[in-house]
């Protein structure tokens, strides 16, 4: 293999490793965000149940106050009964007392229902609280790990960037520009292997004579994608596998 191709291959390999490490590094804040969103959702759920418990309690206070008012009224009505003169008025007052007592009973039913609802909401709230705690702990452990991993990856990036710098310096400007040009088009590789007689970059067939030259150590520049096609470990000529 030509010396300049070997150097390009070295740069290409360093860049490939650098790309991988950078992608890993970028995935860390994304993963942390996913965890944070999960915690927020659990916190929200917990809060909803807590609010439901609170609403039940407020409702019970209000119902009890209504009930107290009715009891006061019943007591008043009973006092008034004593001073009523006519039979009709007496009957009407008794009817009012009955009505108020009926309402007091209705409120008892509502109170019972509300207390049951409170109990359920309380149980849900406790469950949600435990879930939240569990997720929070898991997040903290994961976060610690991810931050540790980030440090390692940042060190790797620094190392690889120094390695890349050395590789770049060993390459002449013309070849480096070409390399940059190919990478600029989104391709990760400029030096590719001959794959079943075709360019490993774009899969265009390489003329058989050029294939033979590649096999004996030559370099072919693919007219389609501009890659340097060379013989690599997994290379093969057309028709062979």
Interacting residue ranges for Zn ion, rule: CB under 5 A: 199, 201-202, 204, 222, 224-225, 227
What would the two tokens of residue 6 be?
């070997």
Q: Which is nearer to Zn ion, 132 or 199 (CB)?
A: 199
CA 55, chain centre distance (Å): 32
Rounded least distance, CB 175 to Zn ion, Å: 17
- Compute the radius of gyration of the chain from its Cα atoms: 41
The CB density around residue 198, as the number of other CB atoms within 10 Å, is 19
Rounded least distance, CB 206 to Zn ion, Å: 8
Rounded least distance, CB 198 to Zn ion, Å: 8
Q: Is 180 exposed, middle or buried (0-12, 13-18, 19+ CB in 10 A)?
A: exposed
d(C-alpha 76, C-alpha 113), whole Å: 29
Rounded least distance, CB 183 to Zn ion, Å: 15
Q: Which is nearer to Zn ion, 21 or 198 (CB)?
A: 198
Rounded least distance, CB 135 to Zn ion, Å: 50
d(C-alpha 180, C-alpha 200), whole Å: 18
Q: Which is nearer to Zn ion, 53 or 222 (CB)?
A: 222
Within a 13 Å sphere around the CA of 150, how many CA atoms are in the beta-carbon half? 13
Q: Which is nearer to Zn ion, 74 or 192 (CB)?
A: 192
Q: Which is nearer to Zn ion, 121 or 192 (CB)?
A: 192
């Amino acid at each position: 293999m030509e010396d300049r191709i070997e150097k390009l291959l070295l740069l290409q390999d360093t860049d490939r490793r650098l790309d991988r490490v950078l992608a890993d590094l970028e995935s860390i804040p994304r993963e942390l965000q996913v965890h944070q969103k999960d915690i927020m959702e659990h916190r929200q759920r917990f809060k909803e149940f807590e609010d439901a418990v609170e609403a039940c309690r407020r409702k019970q206070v209000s119902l009890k106050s209504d009930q107290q008012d009715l009891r006061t009224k019943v007591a008043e009505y009973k006092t008034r009964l004593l001073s009523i003169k006519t039979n009709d008025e007496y009957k009407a007052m008794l009817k009012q007392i009955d009505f108020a007592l009926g309402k007091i009973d209705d409120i008892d039913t509502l109170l019972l229902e509300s207390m049951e609802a409170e109990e359920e909401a309380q149980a849900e709230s406790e469950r949600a609280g435990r879930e939240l705690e569990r997720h929070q702990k898991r997040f903290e452990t994961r976060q610690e790990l991810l931050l540790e991993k980030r440090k390692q990856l940042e060190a790797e990036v620094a190392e690889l960037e120094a390695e890349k710098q050395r590789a770049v310096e060993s390459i002449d400007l013309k070849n480096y520009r070409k390399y940059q040009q190919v990478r600029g088009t989104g391709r990760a590789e400029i030096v590719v292997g001959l794959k079943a007689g075709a360019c490993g970059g774009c899969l265009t067939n390489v003329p058989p004579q050029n294939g033979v030259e590649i096999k004996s150590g030559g370099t072919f520049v693919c007219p389609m994608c501009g890659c340097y096609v060379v013989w690599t470990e997994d290379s093969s000529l057309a028709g062979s596998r």
